[in-house]
């Protein structure tokens, strides 16, 4: 497999169309992966600078080679939750377009040593950033049944999380889960399907990956980091693949696109703070049937986008959200 084939970018055409009006601006590809979206942006638009970052060091290694002759592409091994700090290290105060693709890169999913796929046997790892300490093995060692069941329900949308959690924790304590295939077998024992792998296996793996990498926490933090550095009329596009991710994006984008009403203790309207963004996607953009046929990993994708319209009252929104900023 060549680097060019590592990853088919999801809804690349839609991303390019949303960014067209900012064609010559400063772009942030906050999850650059194997560079699929950035390649499409470079092919169809003329950005002044593309700032690419990823928490996976392998992604930066791939893109360093792929874009070695593109001097206007700046690469950083960094979590997108810190994108505001990354951008400012370049002496840049604001950017014109930001993209977050919250999906797992294909090269990581296909690497059996990373432990992301239930279809490939390997170690219990699942770290997006391989420099971080806690692996899936460590996570299972420190997690009890109740906590694991909550993870499976909230991050995997499983309907019977406690049965699966009990099986996994019991087998782990008995030393029966030492690699990916052992984990798959433990899950399968809760079901009576012999002719195929049930969807619940994929859901369990998804939930564990989200938990190990604290993905939803970093997503929310990354959305606010992006809003802080997005220029007026700049656009912010997010592609999510999980209901929990989409709920966060939908809620936050709706929040900043509506006014804040400040009421007196008696309930009277004192002031109405104007919104800081315009919601470009009241309903999410979904991949076309044709794209799903070509790339099955696009099936669950949802794209949402906003355009920033004001900075004047952003501190009200930050305070209302309860975030603490420097």
pLDDT in tens, the chain (326 residues): 344 445 689 999 999 999 998 889 999 999 999 999 999 999 999 999 999 999 999 999 999 999 999 999 999 999 999 999 999 999 999 999 999 999 998 899 999 999 999 999 999 999 999 999 999 999 999 999 999 999 999 999 998 899 999 999 999 999 999 999 999 999 998 887 667 788 899 999 999 999 999 999 999 999 999 999 999 999 999 999 999 999 999 999 999 999 888 888 888 888 888 899 999 999 999 999 999 999 988 999 999 999 999 987 787 777 776 543 34
**One domain, residues 14 and 26:** yes
Helix, strand, or coil here: 290?
helix
Instruction: Scan for tokens 């690469």, then name that residue.
Output: 75
Domain end call among 214, 248, 273: 214
**One domain, residues 80 and 38:** yes
Q: Residue 326 falls within a domain, yes or no?
A: no
Residue-level pLDDT at 264:
84
**One domain, residues 94 and 232:** yes
The CA angle 318-320-322, to the nearest 5 degrees, is 70
Q: Give the whole-angstrom CA distance, residue 44 versus residue 135.
A: 39
Q: Give the whole-angstrom CA distance, residue 84 versus residue 235.
A: 15
| CB burial of residue 243 (10 Å; 0-12, 13-18, 19+) | middle
* Nearest CA among 64, 69, 68, 7 for reference residue 40: 7
Residue-level pLDDT at 322:
59
Contact 53, 83 (CB under 8 A): yes
Q: Give the whole-angstrom CA distance, residue 37 versus residue 13.
A: 9
Phi, psi of 237, rounded to the nearest 5 degrees = -120, 135
**One domain, residues 184 and 156:** yes
Residue-level pLDDT at 323:
44
Query: What would the two tokens of residue 165 be?
Result: 């959690």
Contact 11, 238 (CB under 8 A): no
CA-to-CA separations, 146 to 172, 183, 201, 202, in angstroms, rounded: 15, 18, 19, 20
Q: Whole-prediction pTM value?
A: 0.92
Q: What is the largest CA-CA distance in the chain?
A: 66
Query: What would the two tokens of residue 18 be?
Result: 């949303």
Contact 7, 36 (CB under 8 A): yes
Q: Give the whole-angstrom CA distance, residue 50 versus residue 42.
A: 9
Helix, strand, or coil here: 66?
helix
**One domain, residues 195 and 266:** no
Domain containing 20 equals 3-107+216-321
Q: How many domains does the chain have?
A: 2
**One domain, residues 167 and 255:** no
Domain end call among 152, 186, 214: 214
CA-to-CA separations, 107 to 6, 20, 124, 220, in angstroms, rounded: 5, 28, 17, 25
Query: What would the two tokens of residue 219 be?
Result: 């997503």
**One domain, residues 127 and 210:** yes
**One domain, residues 37 and 68:** yes
Domain end call among 214, 249, 276: 214
**One domain, residues 44 and 137:** no
Buried b (16+ CB within 10 A) or exposed e, 72-96: ebbbbbbbbbbbbebbeeeeeebbb
Contact 131, 57 (CB under 8 A): yes
Q: Give the whole-angstrom CA distance, residue 235 versus residue 303.
A: 13
**One domain, residues 68 and 160:** no
Query: What would the two tokens of residue 77 be?
Result: 């091994």
CATH of the domain at 38: 3.40.50.150
CATH of the domain at 152: 1.10.150.170
**One domain, residues 17 and 90:** yes
């Amino acid at each position: 497999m060549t680097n060019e084939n590592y990853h088919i970018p999801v809804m690349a055409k839609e991303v390019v169309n949303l960014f067209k009006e900012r064609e010559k601006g400063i772009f942030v590809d906050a999850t650059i992966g194997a560079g699929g979206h950035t390649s499409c942006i470079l092919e169809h638009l003329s950005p002044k600078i593309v700032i690419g970052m990823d928490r996976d060091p392998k992604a930066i290694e791939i893109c360093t080679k792929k874009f070695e002759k593109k001097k206007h592409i700046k690469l950083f091994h960094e979590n997108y939750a810190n994108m505001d700090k990354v951008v400012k290290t370049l002496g840049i105060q604001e950017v014109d377009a930001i993209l977050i693709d919250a999906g797992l890169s294909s090269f990581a999913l296909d690497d059996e040593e990373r432990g992301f796929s239930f279809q490939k046997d390997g170690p219990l790892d699942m770290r997006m950033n391989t420099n971080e300490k806690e692996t899936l093995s460590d996570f299972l060692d420190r997690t009890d049944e109740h906590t694991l069941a909550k993870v499976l329900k909230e991050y995997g949308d499983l309907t019977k999380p406690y049965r699966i959690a009990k099986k996994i924790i019991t087998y782990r304590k008995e030393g029966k889960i030492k690699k990916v295939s052992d984990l798959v077998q433990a899950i399968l024992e809760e079901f009576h399907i012999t002719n195929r792998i049930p969807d619940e296996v994929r859901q369990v793996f998804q939930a564990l990956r989200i938990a190990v990498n604290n993905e939803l926490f970093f997503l929310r933090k990354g959305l606010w980091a992006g809003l802080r550095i997005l220029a007026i009329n700049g656009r912010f596009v997010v592609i999510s693949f999980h209901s929990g991710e989409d709920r966060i994006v939908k809620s936050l984008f709706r929040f900043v696109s509506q006014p804040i009403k400040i009421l007196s203790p008696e309930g009277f309207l004192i002031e109405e703070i104007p919104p800081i963004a315009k919601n470009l996607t009241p309903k999410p953009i979904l991949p076309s049937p044709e794209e799903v046929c070509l790339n099955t990993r696009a099936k669950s994708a949802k794209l949402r986008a906003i355009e920033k319209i004001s900075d004047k009252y952003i501190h009200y929104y930050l305070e209302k959200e309860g975030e603490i900023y420097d």
